[in-house]
């Protein structure tokens, strides 16, 4: 029998970020993945998380506001806009990036990218650096290279 503090189901960005966070907090973690490769959709995504009001924007002299991010998301999501999800995301995305970066865990390159749809409510320039590029990882890593 395996004893652990936290069981994470799925090894994509969401699961592994939660796993890393739990480990940083000193907890034992077990990540369960149903396929023989880890990474999920995340492994073949563009790898540029969209994070409004992030600290890198401030470092390069760009300002961003919660309201501008909401405006952009309303324009892009339309009827799929969900207040609770958006507010939770805006509360947590920037602190998450800082949390990982402070521990050198985000493998982020210092190359910010612009919003995908600049014409939809972010044409004021604030959307120029909300996305972050992430350094590539080994694509062929299998679950036997399990994360400890």
- What residues line the site for ligand FAD (CB under 6 A)? 9-15, 32-35, 40-42, 44-50
Specify the residue, 49 or 121, whose C-beta has the smaller distance to ligand FAD: 49
Specify the residue, 61 or 96, whose C-beta has the smaller distance to ligand FAD: 96
Q: Which residue is nearest to ligand FAD (CB)?
A: 12
Q: How far is the CB of 40 from ligand FAD (least distance, A)?
A: 2
Contact 36, 76 (CB under 8 A): no
When computed from its CA atoms, the radius of gyration of the chain, rounded to whole angstroms, is: 17
Residues 6 or more apart in contact with residue 56 via CB below 8 angstroms: 97, 108, 110, 112, 129, 132
Q: How far is the CB of 87 from ligand FAD (least distance, A)?
A: 18
* C-alpha atoms less than 13 angstroms from C-alpha of 109 in its C-beta half-sphere: 10
Specify the residue, 31 or 61, whose C-beta has the smaller distance to ligand FAD: 31
Instruction: Look up residue 116 and give its two tokens.
Output: 């995908």
CA distances from 30 to 2, 8, 33, 40, 86 (A): 9, 6, 10, 16, 29
Specify the residue, 41 or 61, whose C-beta has the smaller distance to ligand FAD: 41
Q: How far is the CB of 18 from ligand FAD (least distance, A)?
A: 9
Q: State the burial class of residue 66 (Cβ atoms within 10 Å of its Cβ: 0-12, 13-18, 19+).
A: middle
Cβ atoms within 10 A of the Cβ of 69, count? 25
Q: How far is the CB of 132 from ligand FAD (least distance, A)?
A: 9
Q: How far is the CB of 43 from ligand FAD (least distance, A)?
A: 7
Specify the residue, 36 or 83, whose C-beta has the smaller distance to ligand FAD: 36
């Amino acid at each position: 029998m395996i004893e652990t503090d936290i069981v994470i189901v799925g090894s994509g960005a969401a699961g592994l970020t939660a796993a890393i966070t739990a480990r940083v907090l000193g907890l034992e973690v077990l990540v369960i993945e149903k396929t023989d490769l880890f990474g999920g959709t995340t492994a073949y995504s563009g790898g540029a998380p969209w994070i409004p009001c992030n600290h890198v924007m401030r470092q390069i002299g760009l300002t961003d506001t919660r309201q501008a991010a909401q405006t952009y998301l309303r324009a892009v999501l339309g009827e799929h806009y969900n207040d609770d999800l958006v507010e939770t995301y805006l509360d947590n995305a920037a602190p998450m990036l800082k949390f990982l970066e402070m521990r050198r865990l985000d493998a982020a390159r210092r190359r910010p990218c612009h919003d995908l749809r600049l014409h939809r409510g972010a044409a004021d320039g604030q959307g120029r650096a909300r996305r972050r590029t992430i350094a590539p990882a080994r694509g062929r890593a299998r679950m036997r290279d399990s994360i400890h």
